[in-house]
Amino acid sequence: MEIKPLKRYSVQEIDQSLFEVSKKIYPRALTGWFSSWRWIMVWFTQILFYGTAWLNWNDRQAVLFDLAARKFYIFGMVFWPQDFIYLAVLLVIAALSLFLFTAVAGRLFCGYACPQTVYSEIFMWIERKIEGDRAKRMRLDNAPLSLRKFTLKTTKHLVWIAVALWTGFTFVGYFTPIRTLAAEVVNFDLGPWQIFWIFFYGFATYGNAGWMREQVCKYMCPYARFQSAMFDKDTLTVTYDEKRGEPRGSRSVKADLSTLNLGSCINCTLCVQVCPTGIDIRNGLQYECIGCAACIDVCDQVMDKMHYPRGLIRYTTEHALEENLSKRGIWARVLRPRTLIYTAILGLIVLVTALSLALRLPLKVDVIRDRGMPRVMEDGSVHNVYRLQVMNTEETPHRYKIKVGGIHDAEIVSDDSFAVPAASTTAVPVRVRVELEHAEPGSNKIYFTVHDRDDESVSVTEKAVFLIPR
Ligand code: SF4
Ligand code: SF4
């Protein structure tokens, strides 16, 4: 057998095979139904993000993640490290919602609510306002450096940087009171961590939305890679109807389609020009497609001009294309086992979490027994000392009383009433006395009940051990 010598590759060839040379994308501006929805989502998410940080509740910031004090304030609720379970549940709800929405309508999150899409949309809008639409931007980029080009580019970057820094400032404003932060910015009195995070988050926004854009979706976001695992043949995706569109070709508006040997696609390439990731949806579903539906809007406009029915590019499913399903048939299959299971699990988790939040007691108690040995007193009793960590999770001070039980005649011989200020924790030393004959040598179960003196229904019982020397 003849063994062929190995081919030798030049450095340039290896470079080319490892890295795809990316071309700058100049998405064309457009209007349309889906575009309006994208802008509604931009407004909604940004009003929520920039606005919520400035809302007040009970004389403090409504949403504040106070990491230093280890307390998260969300409107009327205060979450402590002990409530970490709610964060875990929130993540589970977010993941399940993503599975559900993806199973129903593909990359809805990517196309309408992902911060990368939202900020790219805002940055592209700024770019269009300053440099003009696609053709003007392309001409400007190809033109030699001039005063006009320099001014336009500098203005664009300054506005981008201002938006990015405002975003960074707002982000930090969720972790440190935003009004204090604003005053510190005005007085040039920011701490090193605040400066770091404002610039770090601002830089990430500027870099991702201004420079990297579709590269983030293509190469950095893992979601694009595993989304296919959540798709099935009844998932709605942005699809080009190849049967109807091909063979593609240009023609006059007045030409009668039935007499031409052509499909409905007039090969205007507008669907490619509006695509923020620069792909051609006519090549089939691609992982780069973020499901923004810009190509649907523009193609519908082309179809209107040509007096053809809309929907050459549309949200549809693989089954619908194979079996020629009507819209009703498509929606009937939305309710399939996979989506019903996701919905049921999601509904159950949301319900249980809501109930648990509604029934959450504004009092938490931890009992720690003092490490010292029990003391046998002269009167024949034994004393054990405990430390009760009592947490008042409400934003008003409360008065509490401690009771002890579990061993006959056990009594508290230290102060059993105390107050805990609003949203804080107090350590209460408690000494318990038990007659020797009422307990066994070794460890005995004992119960501490802490109850609110103004509301008996707020009461927590914790168990501990009472030691009797052998
Ligand atoms: S916008 Fe519609 S008609 Fe134009 S190239 Fe794309 S698919 Fe064809
Ligand atoms: S192919 Fe269409 S839906 Fe997909 S990213 Fe491009 S414009 Fe958006």
* Atom number of ligand 1 nearest to Cα 295: 1
Ligand 2 pocket check for 313: Cβ under 6 Å: no
Provide the pLDDT for residue 17: 47
> What span, in angstroms and rounded, lies between the C-alpha atoms of 370 and 374?
9
Q: Kindly identify the ligand whose nearest atom is closest to the C-alpha of 266.
A: 1
Ligand 1 pocket check for 298: Cβ under 6 Å: yes
Which of 117, 273, 275 maximizes ligand 2 atoms within 8 Å of its Cβ, making it the mutation to test the pocket? 275
Instruction: Name the residue among 96, 112, 110, 111 with its Cα closest to residue 339.
Output: 96
Q: What is the mean pLDDT of residues 117-133?
A: 96
Residue 4: inside a domain:
no
List Cβ neighbours of 14 (8 Å cut-off, separation of 6 or more): none
pLDDT higher than 90, residue 138: yes
Which of 109, 110, 281, 313 maximizes ligand 2 atoms within 8 Å of its Cβ, making it the mutation to test the pocket? 281
Ligand 2 pocket check for 100: Cβ under 6 Å: no
Q: b/e per residue, 336-368, with b = 16+ CB within 10 A? A: eeebeebeeebeeeeeebeeeeeeeebbbbebe
Co-location of 123 and 247 in the same domain: yes
Co-location of 340 and 424 in the same domain: no
Residue 11: inside a domain:
no
Residue 388: inside a domain:
yes
Least confident of 13-17, 45-49, 461-465: 13-17
Co-location of 286 and 408 in the same domain: no
Co-location of 244 and 375 in the same domain: no
Of all residues in the chain, what percent carry a pLDDT higher than 90?
70
Could you tell me the distance, in angstroms and rounded to a whole number, from the CA of residue 280 to the centre of ligand 1? Answer: 9
pLDDT higher than 60, residue 373: yes
Which of 277, 282, 300, 302 maximizes ligand 2 atoms within 8 Å of its Cβ, making it the mutation to test the pocket? 277
pLDDT-derived band at 451 (thresholds 50, 70, 90) equals very high
Provide the pLDDT for residue 5: 53
Provide the pLDDT for residue 43: 97
pLDDT higher than 80, residue 15: no
Task: Report if pTM > 0.75.
Answer: yes
Ligand 1 pocket check for 313: Cβ under 6 Å: yes
> What span, in angstroms and rounded, lies between the C-alpha atoms of 51 and 45?
10
pLDDT-derived band at 298 (thresholds 50, 70, 90) equals very high
| Total domains in the fold of the chain | 2
pLDDT (tens digit, 9 = 90+) per residue, 323-363? 988 888 888 888 888 899 999 999 999 999 999 999 888 89
> What span, in angstroms and rounded, lies between the C-alpha atoms of 38 and 65?
29
pLDDT (tens digit, 9 = 90+) per residue, 45-102? 999 999 999 999 988 999 999 998 888 999 988 888 888 899 999 999 999 999 899 9
pLDDT higher than 60, residue 182: yes
Q: What is the mean pLDDT of residues 451-458?
A: 92
Residue 137: inside a domain:
yes
pLDDT higher than 60, residue 423: yes
Provide the pLDDT for residue 2: 47
Mean pLDDT of the chain: 91
pLDDT (tens digit, 9 = 90+) per residue, 189-217? 999 999 999 999 999 999 999 999 988 98
pLDDT (tens digit, 9 = 90+) per residue, 235-269? 999 999 999 999 999 999 999 888 889 999 999 99
Ligand 1 pocket check for 302: Cβ under 6 Å: yes
Could you tell me the distance, in angstroms and rounded to a whole number, from the CA of residue 28 to the centre of ligand 2? Answer: 12
Co-location of 337 and 389 in the same domain: no
Could you tell me the distance, in angstroms and rounded to a whole number, from the CA of residue 110 to the centre of ligand 1? Answer: 23
Residue 2: inside a domain:
no
We report the CATH number of the domain holding residue 411 as 2.60.40.10
Provide the pLDDT for residue 210: 95
**404 dihedral zone (left: phi>0; alpha: psi -120 to 50; beta):** beta
pLDDT higher than 60, residue 185: yes
Provide the pLDDT for residue 1: 43
pLDDT higher than 90, residue 145: yes
Could you tell me the distance, in angstroms and rounded to a whole number, from the CA of residue 268 to the centre of ligand 1? Answer: 5
Residue 10: inside a domain:
no
Q: What is the mean pLDDT of residues 226-234?
A: 82
Co-location of 411 and 462 in the same domain: yes
Co-location of 418 and 280 in the same domain: no
Which of 34, 257, 269 maximizes ligand 1 atoms within 8 Å of its Cβ, making it the mutation to test the pocket? 269
> What span, in angstroms and rounded, lies between the C-alpha atoms of 96 and 348?
12
DSSP readout, 119-137?
Answer: HHHHHHHHHHHHH-SHHHH
Of all residues in the chain, what percent carry a pLDDT higher than 70?
95
Tell me which amino acid residue 160 is.
Answer: W
Residue 70: inside a domain:
yes
Residue 5: inside a domain:
no
pLDDT-derived band at 164 (thresholds 50, 70, 90) equals very high
Co-location of 373 and 305 in the same domain: no
Tell me which amino acid residue 355 is.
Answer: L
Owning domain of residue 461? 363-468
Residue 186 burial (CB count, 10 A)? 8
Identify whether 144 is preceded by a cis peptide bond (ω within 30 of 0).
Answer: no
> What span, in angstroms and rounded, lies between the C-alpha atoms of 75 and 62?
5
Co-location of 265 and 383 in the same domain: no
**Packing angle between helix 134-142 and helix 115-131, nearest 10 degrees?**
70
Give 424's Cβ-side CA count (13 Å radius). 11
Co-location of 145 and 89 in the same domain: yes
Provide the pLDDT for residue 10: 54
pLDDT higher than 60, residue 380: yes
**Single residue among 337, 360, 383 that ends a domain in this structure:** 360
**Single residue among 360, 387, 416 that ends a domain in this structure:** 360
> What span, in angstroms and rounded, lies between the C-alpha atoms of 44 and 98?
19
Q: How many DSSP H helices and E strands does the chain contain?
A: 18, 16
Pairing of strands 442-452, 455-468: antiparallel
pLDDT higher than 80, residue 7: no
**Residue 93 and residue 353 in contact, taking contact as beta carbons nearer than 8 Å:** yes
pLDDT higher than 80, residue 8: no
Co-location of 254 and 228 in the same domain: yes
> What span, in angstroms and rounded, lies between the C-alpha atoms of 124 and 428?
58
Co-location of 220 and 296 in the same domain: yes
**Single residue among 310, 326, 360 that ends a domain in this structure:** 360
